Each structure stands twice: as C-alpha cells, then as structure tokens.
Structure 1
Amino acid sequence: MKLDVGMLTHDLKSIPGYARKVEAMGYDCLWSSETQHDPFLPLAVAATVTSTIKLGTAIAVTFPRSPMVLAHIAWDLQKASDGRFILGLGTQVKGHNERRFSVKFESPGPKMREVVLALRAIWDCWQNGTKLAFKGQFYRFDLMTPFFNPGPIAHPKVPVYIAGVNQYMCRVAGEVCDGLHVHPFNSPTYLREYVQPAVNEGLAASKRRREDFTYITSTFAVVGDTEQELAQNRQAVKQQIAFYASTRT
C-alpha cells in the first residue's frame, strides 16, 4: 500500500511550494481533480519543481475533450515529469456532460474503452512511427503529418486509470487500463464483492495478472487539532457524502 495526496491548492503561484512539500513528506503521488479548475495545469507546474513524486489526474472529465487533445496533454506532461505522469479519466454523469459541458452523453462504458484504445494508437504512432489508422464506433483518427507529430519521448508508456462505479466500467478498467479510481463513496463489501470480480474479469480477458493493475482508493476522514477544526471538517465530509448520495446519474 502506498499513500497519496490530493492537490489542496489550484493557485498556480502556490503550487511549487506545495508540490515540494508533499514530495519531501514522502507521498507517492500527487493527484489533481477537475472541479472548479483545470486538472492539468497544476501538474504541469508541479512537474517542473519535483523529481520523484508521481503526478496524476483524479480525474479529468473525458468526453468534453477529444482523445487527440488528451493524448497531446498527457504526452507533454509525461515528458516534463520524466515519466511520472498518470492519466486518470472519468465519464462524469449525464447531467454534467450535457448541461455543464454541452456534450453528447452516449454509451459511456464502450465510449470510454474506445478512448483508451485510441490514446494507445496515437501514442504508438508518435513513439514508433506506426501509421495512425484508428477507427471505432465513436472516434476515427487517420491523419498525422510530421508538422503535428510531437515525436518520441524517453518514457512513452503513459499509465491510464479510469474511474468506475458499475461493473461494466470496472471490467473495462481491468481489460484496457493500468488502474481503477475507486469511487470514495464505497465499502469493503462493495469492493470485495462487486468491484474486484469485475476487474478480475477484465484482467483475464486481456491475459494480465493482478500485479499489473493498481487500485486508487480514497476515504472520507475527519481530522483536526481542535474541536473547532473537527467540527468544520466533519461538516465538509457530510456535505461531500450528501453530494455523492444525491447526484443523479
């Protein structure tokens, strides 16, 4: 088990100090989420001032961005961090896709699977010169001229994790991804009886082992040095649980 930490600030001017601090404390990975701010920019800043801590998105919303756009962002962050970047993706729910991002929400499981496969095809083109000829149900990529090709990098294997709640998405994670972002609103029973069997099915389909796969889990924790801090943080956790429990799919 390894301990990670979240990006507690998205002020780009304060990120260098924060990133250095959590790296010195020994955390394994620094995760940036997509809520009120872009999830990638803070990691670009952190990549330039750290050397050992991994850097990842937990998560970036997938469908508002073309896989080509995601491929370029991930490639640049992987190069800037010397191979420490993890691309974490999630579908978000229908309401946010259609009403907040104004994008069509269709077949999220199959579409997410196709995004990951498209990313691999694009990166293979850039790294190995393979002709780009990806054609799926939702995306087609078959044009890559030298002017738009960033070329090979030293660490071309970009880990891709996806967020999954239902068993279909967990199977997709096991089949085509390097890891799964487990929803923080979980229980040991849910993980043991619902998530893990689905992931294992995906791993078996891709002929991979459990050792080839990573689970990223988070918990709701109330901490504080004073009763006032405990009360404030307890209320914050209550609000987060209420948000997750009341969000419509």
Structure 2
Amino acid sequence: MTEKNKRGISLAYSDLEAKPQLAHDAESAGFDLIWNSGESIPLFGSIAKTTNTTPFGSGVIRAFAHDIRELAQSSVDLQRLSGNRFILGLGGGTKRMNINQLGKEFDHPATRLREMIKGLKIAWATPYNEDMDFQGQYYSLVGKGLRGVISDSGLAGFGGEATNTPPEPALIYLAAVNKAMFRLAGDLCDGLCGHPIASVRFINEVAWPSIDEGLNRSNRTREDFDHNAWIVTAISPDEKQAEREAKLHIARFMATRSYGIILDSQGYSDVREKIQEAFFQTPNDVDALINAVPDEIAREHSIYGNIDQVREQAQKYEGVVNTSTFYCASALMSHERIHENIKFMIEAFGKN
C-alpha cells in the first residue's frame, strides 16, 4: 500500500559539488524522497553514499538519450550501492528538446517508452549467466544478463563472486503531462513524476483519471501507485521577490507548446496565449513574461512567499497526491539564491 502525505525534495539546479551534502541534509530533515535532475547518472552513486535510508531518484533521465542495456546496468549498480533505494525516473522530453539537445525527433514517444520499460524489466529479471532475448520495434536486448543480477547458483557475474544481497529491480516513475503518458504510468510504472506546473485541478481532472485507466489495465489501484506532485517553490522573507521568481519559472513552462494541455484543460487558453506571446515575441523581457501570469494562475500552479506562507499553501496537495515534492523556482535566481531557496525548502518541509 502506498503511503499518503509523503514529502520529497528536488536538488535540481544546485551545484554538482553541493548535491551530496544537500541530500544528506534532506535525509536528516526527514524527507521521504530525494530527487535530482537526471543529466548525470554517476552522481547518484555519491548520493547513495551520503544518505543511509532515504530513497532517491532521477528526476528525470531523458530516456531516449540512453542505450537500454546501459540504463538497466546503471540502475542495478545503484541498487547495489544504495541497498535498493534508487528510483529510475524517466521522461521522453518534448519534441523541441529532443531535436535541439539530441539531434533528432523520436516519433511515438509513448510507444517507445512502453517498450523501453518492458525491456528494462526483462533485463532486471534475467540472471547474468542466462541469455536475454528481447526484440522490440525500437529496442532490443541480446547477450548475457546484466552484471550483478543473481543467478540460481548465487553468482552475480563479478568474476564468479557469490553474493547474498542481490539487488531488487529499481522502481520506475514516469514524467507525464499528456493522457497517453499518464495511462502508461498507471499501466507499467510504480509512480509518477508530476509536471511542476500541474495544479490540483489538473491533477484531479486530467492526471488521475488517465492514470486510473492505466491502473485498470494492470489490475491495480491507486494504493499501488505513488503520485508525486512536483511543486514549483520560491521561499524568501521578501514575498514580492518570491512571487516574481515563481511566476517567471512557471511562465517558461507554460510557454512550452507541448505543455499547453495544463492550462487549456482548465479553461485558461487565453492566459497561455498571452504567456506564449510574451515569451516568443519579447524573449528577453523578464517583466513582460512575469506580468503575463495572473496572480490566481501563480497561486494555483506554484507556492511562494515566506516559510509560513508556503507551508500553508502546500496543504492543498495533501490528500490529492501521495507525495509533495518541492522543486526550486530557479529561473530568476542567482547561483547563491538557488542554494538559499533549497535550504529554505529543507527547513520548511522537513519532518524532523
């Protein structure tokens, strides 16, 4: 049964060198989950060693940038290093992100991700001394099983070395913003990395119903699924500063055409159009983009203010999702301000 009212924190945008200590601080503060952006898989080995009991995950790895076998092996290694605490957070990325950063477009992203997830699960279930045989439309797995996946003889592929602590398969969480991805998450995944601008209304009216369809396909219920809401968060004694930071951060998400469903499904297409106009016609005008976000939209799609204010605002997610994950509104923040904000998030939402 999935717990309710858990708290997570994202270390995205913080310095590489600072992340292990921030992860340690978050665990000491009592967070239930720790996330970091997925650009660097090796970094999670450091987080595994500076924390002891708290699950941590990739939020999120760009799935199509990776070979499926390499991704499966990295997950096995992180499970061994951490004592089965690693969560593999996957996302397909937007069309424009993939073209600009990976050099190509990936058609049928939901189908590709479905195939990848099935392949990962086969890789994790195949002992190292047995052959894998997975042939899909986009991915294939051949050859011996992964190093570290235990065989019936108790060997795990480390030069014949036996192990008494075989790793469990990593949990898989999916980043989703459209109905097809929500259904896929419910069907094949253990949880959701909720989009940072998903409001409570969007979660209730769009995300959960589509997830439920997927859960029904796999004969599961919401009790078997961890719905993470990633919440854009700006904390400062200067309330106006925090408001501007939150508005700019969510505006950049809202200007992305692939995320249009979030505002459009709530009847805010006019707001989306004004935000996109400001973003594309005057891309360097920060004030124009901030001013395009009405106060009510900012309040529904982020939390901001001093510590007491954000604690109160975050209560709207309780009972709606399983886990509230606090995510730094970094777009207007300096290097120092990002770290200050993350430390404020730890102070505001730690359970200890």
TM-score, normalisation: structure 1 = 0.89
| CA deviations over 1:50-92 (Å, ceiling 9, x no partner) | 1111110111111011111211111111111101110000011
Instruction: Identify the range of structure 1 (106-115 vs 11-20) with the bigger mean alpha-carbon deviation.
Output: 11-20
Is 1:142 the counterpart of 2:142? The answer is yes
Which secondary structure does the structure 2 equivalent of 1:132 belong to? coil
Which structure has more relative contact order (CA 8 Å, sep 6+)? It is 2
Query: Aligned equivalents of 1:233 and 1:4: distance in 2?
Result: 20
Query: Aligned equivalents of 2:140 and 2:71: distance in 1?
Result: 15
Distance 1:203 1:33, change over 3 A: same
Task: Tell me the residue number matched to 1:156.
Answer: 168
Which secondary structure does the structure 2 equivalent of 1:221 belong to? strand
**Offset at residue 232 of structure 1 (A):** 3.5
**Offset at residue 18 of structure 1 (A):** 1.8
Which secondary structure does the structure 1 equivalent of 2:202 belong to? helix
Is 1:68 the counterpart of 2:69? The answer is yes
**Offset at residue 184 of structure 1 (A):** 1.6
Distance 1:221 1:49, change over 3 A: closer
Distance 1:232 1:42, change over 3 A: farther
Query: Aligned equivalents of 2:127 and 2:246: distance in 1?
Result: 43
Q: In the alignment, is the contact (CA less than 8 A) between 2:198 and 2:229 conserved in 1?
A: no
| CA deviations over 1:103-137 (Å, ceiling 9, x no partner) | 3311001111111001001111147x553111111
Letter in 1 for 2:244: Q
The partner residue of 1:210 within 222, 246, 263 is 222
Letter in 2 for 1:104: E
Task: Tell me the residue number matched to 2:326.
Answer: none
Q: In the alignment, is the contact (CA less than 8 A) between 2:149 and 2:167 conserved in 1?
A: no
**Offset at residue 243 of structure 1 (A):** 1.0
Q: In the alignment, is the contact (CA less than 8 A) between 1:74 and 1:87 conserved in 2?
A: yes
Is 1:14 the counterpart of 2:18? The answer is yes
Which secondary structure does the structure 2 equivalent of 1:80 belong to? helix
Which secondary structure does the structure 1 equivalent of 2:149 belong to? coil
Which secondary structure does the structure 2 equivalent of 1:48 belong to? helix
4+ residue runs of structure 1 moved beyond 4 angstroms?
none
Which secondary structure does the structure 1 equivalent of 2:34 belong to? strand
Instruction: Identify the range of structure 1 (5-14 vs 171-180) with the bigger mean alpha-carbon deviation.
Output: 5-14
Is 1:121 the counterpart of 2:119? The answer is no
Query: Aligned equivalents of 1:12 and 1:197: distance in 2?
Result: 38
How large is the Cα RMSD of the aligned pairs? 1.9
Which secondary structure does the structure 2 equivalent of 1:144 belong to? coil
Is 1:178 the counterpart of 2:182? The answer is no
Q: Alignment length, in residue pairs? A: 240
Q: In the alignment, is the contact (CA less than 8 A) between 1:93 and 1:248 conserved in 2?
A: no
Letter in 1 for 2:147: N
Q: Identify unmatched segments of 5+ residues in structure 2.
A: 151-164, 259-352
Q: In the alignment, is the contact (CA less than 8 A) between 2:190 and 2:224 conserved in 1?
A: yes
Query: Aligned equivalents of 1:233 and 1:43: distance in 2?
Result: 30
| CA deviations over 1:38-58 (Å, ceiling 9, x no partner) | 242332111012111111011
Instruction: Identify the range of structure 1 (51-60 vs 8-17) with the bigger mean alpha-carbon deviation.
Output: 8-17
Q: In the alignment, is the contact (CA less than 8 A) between 1:32 and 1:42 conserved in 2?
A: no
